[in-house]
Amino acid sequence: MPTTFAKYLNGPMDRHELRRIMWTWPILMRQATDNKVKNFAYYVWEQSDDAGWLPTLRQAQWIRELNRELSDQDDTPDLIED
Please name which of 41, 31, 33 lies closest in space to residue 62, comparing C-alpha atoms: 41
Please name which of 17, 16, 24, 12 lies closest in space to residue 60, comparing C-alpha atoms: 12
Measured between alpha carbons, how far is 15 from 54 in angstroms, rounded to an integer? 7
Question: Could you tell me the residue ranges of all domains in the chain?
Answer: 10-47
Higher pLDDT, 43 or 4: 43
| pLDDT tens digits, one per residue of 64-79 | 999 988 876 555 556 6
Looking at residue 56, its pLDDT comes to 92
| pLDDT tens digits, one per residue of 17-63 | 999 999 999 999 998 899 999 999 999 999 999 989 999 999 999 99
Helix ranges restricted to H, the chain: 15-22, 25-31, 35-47, 57-73
